[in-house]
Amino acid sequence: MSSGDWIDDIEHEVSSVAQTRRDPDFVEGEDPARVRATADLLLADLANDWVKQKRRRRIGTWVFRILLLLLLLAIAAGLLMPLLSGAGSGEKSEPYTALISLSGPVFEGEEASAESLRNRLQDALEDDSAAGVILLVDSPGGSPVQAGLMYDDIVRLRNEFPEKPVHAVIGNMAASAGYYIASAADNIYANQASLVGSIGVRLDSFGAVDALQRLGLERRLLTAGEHKGLLDPFLPIDETATAHLQSVLDSVHQQFIDAVKAGRGERLSDDPILFTGLIWNGEQAVELGLIDELKDRYAVARDVIGAEEIKTFQPPKSLMERLSDELGAAIAKGVQPVVGLQ
């Protein structure tokens, strides 16, 4: 029964009792004094029931508030403990290798982006227990702007923390913008089958002028600026604009080449084929100086950095994501003893 139905029943009973007390003869065939006494007892019972119900509801409200407060305190403790642990102890924990994953296409808002890398790399290098950093690069490429920003951040932070090595380890591939990023590291490692290189720039388009003509369609485009429609696929090629775009691509390509040469230095082969956009496997990349050795992340942590334990620095999460994670962990921890999963 809902609280509304219960209140309606109470009001009905009280109304009946009130009617009886005002007019004892309302109950035919009964002694008026006895009827009045019975009505008084019933009214007292109803009043007691009302008080008990209010008390239960009040207790329930306070229990809910206390449980909610305890839950919020548990979440807050979970968020603050990583920040407070060791803050005032003055003790340095065992050295470890920091791992920063840069996986997927290089674009703003992705894991492989300047903002994501900058904060994690700064945190890793500032940690006294971090002996060095591994950048785990697994990317087919993406934005040259993001790659350039990430390259600059790696070089800047390496200069700020010269005592800590920053190495790149290639997963399945580090192509185009992915290799751009990796070339900023102290050393680059990969698997023998990893795909490496693709040092070039591309701009995709298509043309459908003949298709429109065959369909009897005419493209009508209004622009302000002689070459504003230079990439319109339904118009003939604008030779002047195309030449200009090629110069832009060549300039970005040269920026890429300069960055790779600065990062790799004398280790890089002088074969001009390196910068034609071709891609090589790990074994070939070693011969060309694109990478230093064939090693995975565990070998680099153990044999190069000298700290076998690896600690992963995850991309930053929003406050709601962190609260959600902590809430899920708190619920799971509370459920485990109940269902016997300890």
Distance, CA of 37 to CA of 337 (rounded, Å): 55
pLDDT on residue 135: 98
pLDDT on residue 89: 42
pLDDT on residue 48: 76
* Structural domains of the chain, ranges and CATH numbers in brackets: 3-83 (no CATH), 96-200+255-317 (3.90.226.10)
- With CA atoms as reference, report the closest residue to 323 among 315, 313, 331: 331
pLDDT on residue 30: 55
Give the dihedral of Cα atoms 241, 253, 134, 79; nearest 10 deg: -20
- pTM greater than 0.85: no
Q: Return the bridge partners of 97, or none.
A: 132, 310
Structure-token pair, residue 223: 């622009």
**Could you give the C-alpha distances from 140 to 101, 277, 293, in angstroms and in order?**
14, 13, 21
Contact yes or no for 128/94 (Cβ under 8 A): no
pLDDT on residue 86: 46
Distance, CA of 251 to CA of 245 (rounded, Å): 10
Please tell me whether residue 277 adopts helix, strand or coil conformation: coil
pLDDT on residue 338: 47
H/E element holding 131? strand 130-139
Contact yes or no for 291/282 (Cβ under 8 A): yes
Please tell me whether residue 170 adopts helix, strand or coil conformation: strand
- The tens-digit pLDDT sequence of the chain (342 residues) is 555 555 555 555 555 655 555 555 544 555 566 656 666 676 677 777 777 777 778 887 887 888 888 777 766 666 555 555 444 444 568 999 999 999 999 999 999 999 999 999 999 999 999 999 999 999 999 999 999 999 999 999 999 999 999 999 999 999 999 999 999 999 999 999 999 999 999 998 888 888 888 888 888 889 899 888 888 888 888 899 899 999 999 999 999 999 999 999 999 999 999 999 999 999 999 999 999 999 999 999 999 999 999 999 998 655 555 556 555 655 555 545 544 555
DSSP alpha helix (H) spans, the chain? 3-22, 32-84, 114-126, 144-160, 177-182, 209-215, 239-264, 282-288, 297-299, 319-339
Distance, CA of 126 to CA of 115 (rounded, Å): 17
pLDDT on residue 88: 42
The set of catalytic residues is 176
pLDDT on residue 134: 98
